[in-house]
Structure 1
Amino acid sequence: MSETSAEDRIWTVPNLLSFLRLLGVPVFFWLVLGPKADGWAIGVLAVAGFTDWLDGKIARAFNQTSRLGRLIDPAADKLYVFATVIALLLREVIPWWLVVIVLGRDLFVGCFGPVLRKYGYRALQVHFLGKAAMFNLMYAFPLLFLASHSGWYAEIARIVGWAFALWGAGLYWWAGVLYVVQVRQLVAEARRG
């Protein structure tokens, strides 16, 4: 019998953290739109952000990277961004144009997925710029959510939240453009080969 390669592992601590993060997406959505339990919703976002950082640290430190992890980690990030922007739009915390900028980038990049598969490639490695963009957005949304409440912290949260949101959206698009450039280079190499 052959041993399962390290890349094919499923049951690792980083993958467990990513699965837990995935389970938090509907919980967050329900908390924001159902009972409007904003404190709990912000807590879910904070835990999601922390576990996103932690699963990557553990994966690298203990050699627990896997194919599954490279799929579910960014999927969880995307689902959190999607759920958060939709929930905050419906609660009138963020404007529609920010939602268009963030989700439009995902649609733009998603159009190149079939091109990659046509040439035998799977999803590309997540770029550092994409991680930086996601970091900014994962901090922006809870801060903007806090800014929608009254309290001494609201104005500070609004200023810092918008700084993270605008910087994150810019980096998100920049990472998307780099992704498309990378796809074009891979396709050109495949055609030459």
Structure 2
Amino acid sequence: MKKVLLVAVMAIAFNFAKAQDYKPFQLYSGVGYAIPQGGGGFLFDIEPAYRINDQISVGFRWELAAMARVVGDTEASISGTSSYSLNGKYYLGSSSFRPYVGAGVGAFGLASISTGVNGAGAGAETKIGFYPRIGFDWGHFNINIDYNFIPSSEVDGFDTNGDPATFDVANSYLGIRVGAFLFGGKK
């Protein structure tokens, strides 16, 4: 049993000890379009990451998205959604064009939601969400698409007849962004 454990530890150490072609630290920043159900907006993010090896990186993403969307039959606005999440990427190639797949999970802070016509509103809240992502690095540029799955919120207001009503607001959104990164390129 000790020999098996020793061989396993040596294999893991060898995997981490082999030379990497890419610098271990990366700082990414991007801007893009946020597409919630029935609306749209913009987003901005900053993402520092650490490459465990040339194929795997782990990182932290801070994102701010400002969106407008539909609640019931009227347009509503949300002043912003900010998220703090941990994520990972698996790179599928080693050339200057590097596609990847990944996922992340974290806290999504939802700002208050309001509508003008039916008087609906909901206070700020924080929900746990996750996102799968795909994208590619090309040199020091990046294009990324992710879908942020966030549980819906309930908004109290009035229907078109003026009667009290509760609306479910979908908080999930598609994020499409372009950006660049410092560090993290080829050695």
Q: TM-score, normalised by structure 1?
A: 0.25
TM-score, normalised on structure 2?
0.25
The structure where strand makes up a greater share of residues is 2
From the two aligned structures, give the one with the greater helix fraction: 1
Determine which structure has more spread, i.e. the larger CA radius of gyration: 2
